[in-house]
Amino acid sequence: MVKTEVQNKVIIGSRESRLAVLQSEMVRDYIKTQHPELDVEILTMKTTGDKILDRTLDKVGGKGLFVKELDKALLEGRTMLSVHSLKDMPMEVPGELPLLAFSKREDPRDVLVLPEGVSELDLTKPLGCSSLRRTLQLKELYPEMEVKSIRGNLQTRLRKLDNGEYSGLILAAAGLKRLGLENRICRYFSEDEILPAAGQGILAVQGRQDLTYDYLEGYRDEKAWFAGSAERAFVKYLNGGCSSPVAAYGVVEGDELFLRGLYYRECDGRYFKDSIRGPKSEAEKLGRDLAKRMQDMYENDKTGGTSL
């Protein structure tokens, strides 16, 4: 039985992008420091989502594209762990590949990045952003500006920005900070201005159900686990999360969880924000309750909300 074998080699599966590798290295370094007896390696692989760069992901199949190859490596025993940005994970994960731990959350906010050497927004060029979630909320902050989709990993997007194609980019603070590019951040958007994506800033460590992972015990961040679980339950209830513009952000305050959600109504493109508070131990239920309440309130109310 695999379970009883002494497991002293840990192979971590990772996407190839610099951010993905860096994030896997953070988990590797944690394990190495806490468990010097373990031999930890990273195995990188290209995912379908990294190969398709000419279409927006919403059109080619959503988040699952970034995890299929990593899941396969886990199932075939080529790796023992996968490290993901939680926000890129599908809301449904296979029962045999459970999420084992969430990291402490890095800054969850979205930020504005301007081209190198530029200090003001050039209103004649579009803002670059890659999700409907950001586009919707940006339209309220910058009603006069065109928003244009941008794909590719962080380095690619920054290169396109510096080449002068865009007036600015909207990115997650977390990725920039991890890459040491915090100095490129020109403006932070509060969580109320741009509600973050479910899981933004949290790393998810995924493994096999039939292996033991005692060495991850100290890695688990309880606050991130409650917040991330509530956010994902909210998104899952509303649409399964595949290519969704739904946003959710939870904060643990003592024994309570404060959860904000964005509900997007596909029929007319309007969106609504609301929040809920309750015991953190019922994180998933809070996520579902907020989603249900918003759906009941807004599904058929044709008056309110904000539109694109």
Ligand X SMILES: NCc1[nH]cc(CCC(=O)O)c1CC(=O)O
**Residues designated catalytic:** 88
Q: Please, what is the minimum distance in Å from the beta carbon of residue 60 to ligand X?
A: 14
| Closest among 146, 139, 136, 153 to 245, alpha carbons compared | 136
Q: Please, what is the minimum distance in Å from the beta carbon of residue 52 to ligand X?
A: 14
What is d(CA 25, CA 226) in angstroms, rounded to the nearest whole number?
A: 24
Half-sphere exposure of 24 (CA within 13 A, CB side): 26
What is d(CA 215, CA 100) in angstroms, rounded to the nearest whole number?
A: 11
**Which residue, 178 or 270, has its beta carbon nearer to ligand X?**
178
> How would you classify residue 26: left for phi > 0, otherwise alpha for psi between -120 and 50, otherwise beta?
alpha
Residue 148: Cβ within 10 Å count = 15
**Which residue, 202 or 257, has its beta carbon nearer to ligand X?**
202
Strand (E) or helix (H) holding 27: helix 18-34
**Which residue, 232 or 270, has its beta carbon nearer to ligand X?**
232
Q: Please, what is the minimum distance in Å from the beta carbon of residue 219 to ligand X?
A: 16
C-beta separation of 145 from 123 below 8 A? yes
Q: Please, what is the minimum distance in Å from the beta carbon of residue 301 to ligand X?
A: 31
Q: Please, what is the minimum distance in Å from the beta carbon of residue 285 to ligand X?
A: 25
Tokens 């109310």 found at: 301
> Contact positions toward ligand X, by CB under 6 A?
85, 87-88, 154, 171-172, 174-175, 200-201
C-beta separation of 22 from 178 below 8 A? yes
**Which residue, 80 or 172, has its beta carbon nearer to ligand X?**
172
Q: How far is CA 114 from CA 140, 142, 168, 202, 270, in A?
A: 19, 15, 5, 25, 29
**Which residue, 200 or 244, has its beta carbon nearer to ligand X?**
200
What is d(CA 150, CA 167) in angstroms, rounded to the nearest whole number?
A: 12
Residue type, 235: V
Which tokens sit at 48?
Answer: 């379908």
The sign of the CA dihedral 288, 293, 294, 300 is: positive
Q: Please, what is the minimum distance in Å from the beta carbon of residue 175 to ligand X?
A: 3
Strand (E) or helix (H) holding 286: helix 283-298
**Which residue, 10 or 154, has its beta carbon nearer to ligand X?**
154
